[in-house]
Structure 1
Amino acid sequence: MRTGRQHNPAAQVVVGLAVIAVGMLFLFDNLGWLDVDMSVQFWPVVLIIAGVLKIMGARSTNGSLIGGALLLSGAVLLLKGLGILAIGWNVLAPAAMIGVGLFVVARSIGHRRADTPSAMPLKGRGDDAVFATAILGAYKRRITSQQFAGGEITVIMGGCELDLREASLEGEAVVNLFALMGGITIQVPVDWTVQLEGAPLLGGIEESTLRPKDGSKRLVVRGYAIMGGVEIRN
C-alpha cells in the first residue's frame, strides 16, 4: 500500500495559509482580542479552502463553478458567524436554491458545447473522457475506450466508482479528482502505471496498484481529498 505525495506547491501554500489564519484566530480569541466561538466558526473555513483548491484544479467550467460556489458559501457563512454580515437563513436558503438552479443550467449548456469537437479540451471525446459530478449522490461508470484521455471527477458528500479495467490509453492521461466529505474509487488495468499527485486534507488518498514492467501507459491522478477518501486499485 502506498499513499500519494503532495506535488503541488500552490496547494501547500493555500493549506499553509489557511492553517496560519485559523491559528491566528484562535490566538486572538484566547488573548481576548476577539470574542469568537471558534467551534462554530471553523467549518466555513473548510469550505473556503475547498473552493480555492477546486478552482485551482478545475479542468472544466463546471469545476470552476463548483469551486466558486464553495468559496462564496464559505465566505458568506464565515462573515455571518463573525457578525460582520447581517443575513439570515430566510435569505441564504433561497439564494442556495437559486445557485443550484444556475449550476444545473450551466452544466446542461456545458454538455451541449462538449458535443462539438472544438469544445473538448482533451484529445478524446465522448467515451474517451470522463467529467463526473456527484453531489449528495452516487456516480458509477465503466469505460472501455481504447484511447482514454482522462477527465475530472468531483464528489461532494457523495460517491463515485470509475471502472477502467477494460480501457486502454496511449502514452499518458490525467484525471483530476476532488472529494469533499465523499469517496472516489478508481479501478485501472494491471498494465497501467499510476502516478499519484494527491493532496489529502483531513482525509486520505490510497494507491495500491501493481507496478507493470512496461511503463508506456501512465495514468496521472491529481486532486484533493478533504474530509474524504480516494482509492486507486487494480
Structure 2
Amino acid sequence: MSDKRSQHRITIGIILIAVGGLLFFNQMNLFRFGKIIGTWWPMILIAIGFLQLKSGNRGSAAILLIVGIFFQLNQLDIVGWNIWNLIWPLLIVFAGIYLLKGNGSVENKMIKANEDGDTIDVLALFSGSTSNVNSQVFNGGQITAIFGGADVDLSQAKSKLPEINLTVTALFGGADLRIGDDWRVQVQGTPIFGGIDDKRRSELNRSEEKPLLKINATVIFGGIEIK
C-alpha cells in the first residue's frame, strides 16, 4: 500500500513541477503556454487513462483513453465534431440493448457470486440504478454511472477480508455510496470537471481492526458522494 501511495505522490509531484515550470516560462514570454494547453489538454485524460490501466482499472481506463484520444484528434483537426452525429445514435442503441438484457428494469441489483465471496457489477446507463448489498462476504466489484445515477447501499455489507477494492466510474453521471461505520474507507482518484465528496466522519478510519474499502474513483463531468 505504501509503495502505491509513493508512486501516486511521485506522479502528482512530476505533474505539478511540469505545470509550474510551463507557467513560469509563460510568464517569461518564452512561449505561448495557453495555446499549448488549448491544443494538448486531452493528453491529461490519456495519461490518467494509462495510469488507471496500470492499476488494473480497465473499465475506467478504456473510457478515459477513448474520450482523451477522441478530443485530442479533434484538437488536431484529424476528427471533426460531426462524428458525434454517429456516436450519439450508437450510444442510444447500446442503452436499448442494455435495458432489454436487464428486462427493462430501472432498478438494478446485480450480485455475482464467486468462490471468494460476492462482487457487485452495477451499471447506470442513461437511467437510475438502486442497489442494496447485504452480502456478509463482500468482495468488492465495480460501479459505473454514464449519463445516469447509481445509488448503492453498502451499509449492511460485511467482509472477511482485510482489504476490498471497489472501482467507481462516473462519466457525465453520479454515484452515491452508503457505507457502514464498521468500514475504513480510502479513496484514490483525480476528478476532472467533477468532484468526490466523502461525508463520513474522519474518526471512522482510525481503527486498524476494521476492513479497508479502497475506492478507485474516476470522475469526468460527474460526481461521487460517500456517506
Q: Distance in 2 between matches of 1:163 and 1:115?
A: 13
Check whether the contact 2:121–2:141 (CA below 8 A) recurs between aligned residues: yes
Structure 2 residue corresponding to 1:220, chosen from 201, 206, 213: 213
Structure 2 residue corresponding to 1:147, chosen from 119, 130, 137: 137
1:168 and 2:158 aligned: yes
Q: Distance in 1 between matches of 2:23 and 2:206?
A: 51
SS of the residue aligned with 1:149? Answer: strand
> Which residue of structure 2 lines up, in the alignment, with residue 47 of structure 1?
45
> Which residue of structure 1 lines up, in the alignment, with residue 68 of structure 2?
74
Check whether the contact 2:188–2:215 (CA below 8 A) recurs between aligned residues: yes
Q: Distance in 2 between matches of 1:217 and 1:174?
A: 14
Q: Distance in 2 between matches of 1:15 and 1:212?
A: 24
User: What code does the residue aligned with 1:88 have?
Assistant: G
Please, which moves more after superposition, 194-203 or 24-33?
A: 24-33
Shift of 1:215: 5.5
Structure 2 residue corresponding to 1:187, chosen from 175, 178, 186: 178
SS of the residue aligned with 1:129? Answer: strand
Please, which moves more after superposition, 8-17 or 73-82?
A: 8-17
> Which residue of structure 2 lines up, in the alignment, with residue 4 of structure 1?
none
Deviations 1:116-155 (A, max 9, x none): 97xx5x712xxx2112233444322001112111112233
SS of the residue aligned with 2:73? Answer: helix
Structural mapping, 1:29-68, within 5 Å: 31-32=30-31, 36=35, 38=37, 40-41=38-39, 44-59=42-57, 64-68=58-62
Structure 1 residues 214 and 92, CA gap change in structure 2 (3 angstroms)? closer
Check whether the contact 1:11–1:53 (CA below 8 A) recurs between aligned residues: no
Check whether the contact 2:145–2:169 (CA below 8 A) recurs between aligned residues: yes
Q: Distance in 2 between matches of 1:46 and 1:14?
A: 12
Q: Distance in 2 between matches of 1:88 and 1:200?
A: 28
> Which residue of structure 2 lines up, in the alignment, with residue 230 of structure 1?
224
1:198 and 2:196 aligned: no
| TM-score normalised by length of structure 1 | 0.62
SS of the residue aligned with 2:69? Answer: helix
Give the total of aligned pairs. Answer: 210
Check whether the contact 1:18–1:49 (CA below 8 A) recurs between aligned residues: no
Say what the alpha-carbon RMSD is for the aligned residues.
Answer: 4.6
Structure 1 residues 16 and 94, CA gap change in structure 2 (3 angstroms)? farther
Shift of 1:71: 1.0
